[in-house]
């Protein structure tokens, strides 16, 4: 069976380092591994509209931001098809058929949907489109016969729901769809990177994100004002590394080589943590080190983003071509789905014959 990747992001803002360690970095590695027959990366504008119906302009503006972030990270349009969800209308038709295979109570139990409903204060008035987006996400994945879905850990319930839909579809209508598997980071810290303020979630409204588009100055300023251990007041005080955002980011980003380059008094992160816990190591020093580590990782991304920023019309053109290719692929799956459901009436010579005989006989 062909190995195929499908994944994507909602274009509601620029992508940040949480997206990067949570999934983007892995996608680029998988792309460059050469182990996949086809890679589709989708800008999920239709899904973004499910909770932004009154603000389509926000989505419209952010499509290019997400595309720039993708290209900046090293997704290569020669190897990967990048496309826009709404330009593939087959996805909505698939969703409509899959809706019949899912119950309301099953959707209500989806932990990610539950959590998002709470965060958006939707409890009393959930838009139907938002409530059913896990079904449309199953359509996104299956339309491309994806075997592999690299995503952030919060998306696991979506993939599980998609797998259930596939099994149900195949059981009712015969073997047609491919059951996907999620790929999440092995490093648990990368699965859920906190905001710079130590809050569990990075969000634009909290102003606690480091964006891939941030300048070196913005990055430095954000790192130097990161939340650490509030009880670590004097350098000589023993400090706590758990819940200390600087150490959490180091857990996500730093490798032993970084010590040789930027902080050679320590052999590795364990040695740095030990000193911090004992006392005698100041926050400014660990923040400067983190800044160097992040700068090493993010500077090439920033540069590529600036370079692509000079080629905007080309990016729209590659999105257009990608969307056309994605549409053609999804159309093939939709044809299989209609055939499996036997709603392909006009291709069905047996049906016409059967009904003719019934009426003549
Ligand atoms: N739900 C994803 C997000 O919040 C975006 C998305 C839409 C997606 N369809 C998908 C991810 C299919 C993986 C596979 O960013």
Residues 127 and 30 in one domain: yes
Residues 29 and 150 in one domain: yes
pLDDT higher than 90, residue 237: yes
Answer whether residue 283 is part of any domain: yes
CATH code of residue 294: 1.10.240.10
* pLDDT-based confidence at residue 279 (cuts at 50, 70, 90): very high
Provide the number of structural domains found in the chain.
2
In the prediction, which pLDDT does 205 show?
83
pLDDT higher than 90, residue 120: no
CATH code of residue 67: 3.40.50.620
pLDDT higher than 80, residue 188: yes
Residues 17 and 144 in one domain: yes
Q: Where are the alpha helices (DSSP H) in the chain?
A: 17-19, 25-33, 45-49, 56-73, 90-98, 104-108, 111-119, 128-131, 133-143, 156-173, 188-191, 216-224, 245-253, 256-262, 269-278, 283-309, 312-341, 349-360
pLDDT higher than 80, residue 117: yes
Residues with Cβ < 8 Å from 263, sequence gap 6 or more? 272, 289
* pLDDT-based confidence at residue 316 (cuts at 50, 70, 90): very high
Residues 50 and 142 in one domain: yes
Answer whether residue 295 is part of any domain: yes
d(CA 184, CA 337) in angstroms, rounded, equals 29
Answer whether residue 358 is part of any domain: no
Mean pLDDT for 65-79 is: 98
Residues 182 and 229 in one domain: no
Answer whether residue 201 is part of any domain: no
Q: Where does ligand 1 bind, in terms of residues with CB under 6 Å?
A: 6-10, 44, 47, 137, 140-141, 149, 151, 155
Alpha-carbon distances of 84 from 48, 119, 325, rounded to whole Å:
11, 26, 11
In the prediction, which pLDDT does 28 show?
98
Answer whether residue 199 is part of any domain: no
Answer whether residue 46 is part of any domain: yes
Distance 212 CA to ligand 1 centre (A): 19
Residue nearest to atom 5 of ligand 1 (CA): 9
Residues 40 and 114 in one domain: yes
* pLDDT-based confidence at residue 175 (cuts at 50, 70, 90): very high
Answer whether residue 209 is part of any domain: no
In the prediction, which pLDDT does 123 show?
78
Residues 254 and 348 in one domain: no
* pLDDT-based confidence at residue 42 (cuts at 50, 70, 90): very high
Atom of ligand 1 nearest to the CA of 9: 15
Residues 128 and 266 in one domain: no
Residues 80 and 167 in one domain: yes
Mean pLDDT for 203-218 is: 94
149 in helix, strand or coil? strand
* pLDDT-based confidence at residue 200 (cuts at 50, 70, 90): confident
Domain containing residue 304? 216-308
Distance 44 CA to ligand 1 centre (A): 7
């Amino acid at each position: 069976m062909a190995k195929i990747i499908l994944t994507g992001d909602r274009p509601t803002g620029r992508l940040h380092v949480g997206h990067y360690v949570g999934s983007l970095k892995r996608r680029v590695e998988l792309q460059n591994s050469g182990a996949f027959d086809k890679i589709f990366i989708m800008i999920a504008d239709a899904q973004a509209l499910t909770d932004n119906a009154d603000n389509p302009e926000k989505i419209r503006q952010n499509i290019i931001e997400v595309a720039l972030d993708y290209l900046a990270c090293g997704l290569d349009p020669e190897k990967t098809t990048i496309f826009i969800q709404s330009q593939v209308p087959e996805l909505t038709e698939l969703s409509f058929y899959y809706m019949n295979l899912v119950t309301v109570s099953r959707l209500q139990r989806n932990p990610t949907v539950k959590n998002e409903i709470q965060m958006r204060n939707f409890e009393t008035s959930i838009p139907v489109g938002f409530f059913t987006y896990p079904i449309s996400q199953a359509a996104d994945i299956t339309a491309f016969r994806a075997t592999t879905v690299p995503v952030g850990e919060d998306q696991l319930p979506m993939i599980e729901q998609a797998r259930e839909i596939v099994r149900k579809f195949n059981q009712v209508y015969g073997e047609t769809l491919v059951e996907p598997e999620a790929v999440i980071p092995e490093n648990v810290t990368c699965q859920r990177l906190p905001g710079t303020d130590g809050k569990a979630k990075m969000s634009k409204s909290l102003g606690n994100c480091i964006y891939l588009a941030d300048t070196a100055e913005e990055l430095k300023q954000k790192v130097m004002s990161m939340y650490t251990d509030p009880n670590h007041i004097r350098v000589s005080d023993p400090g706590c590394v758990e819940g200390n955002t600087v150490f959490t980011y180091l857990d996500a980003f730093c490798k032993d080589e970084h010590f040789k380059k930027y902080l050679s008094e320590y052999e590795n992160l364990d040695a740095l943590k030990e000193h911090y816990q004992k006392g005698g190591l100041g926050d400014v020093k660990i923040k400067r080190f983190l800044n160097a580590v992040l700068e090493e990782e993010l500077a090439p991304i920033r540069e590529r983003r600036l370079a692509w920023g000079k080629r905007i019309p080309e990016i729209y053109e590659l999105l257009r071509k990608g969307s056309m290719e994605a549409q053609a692929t999804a159309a093939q799956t939709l044809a299989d789905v209609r055939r499996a459901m036997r709603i392909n009436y006009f291709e069905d010579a047996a049906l016409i014959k059967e009904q003719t005989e019934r009426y003549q006989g």
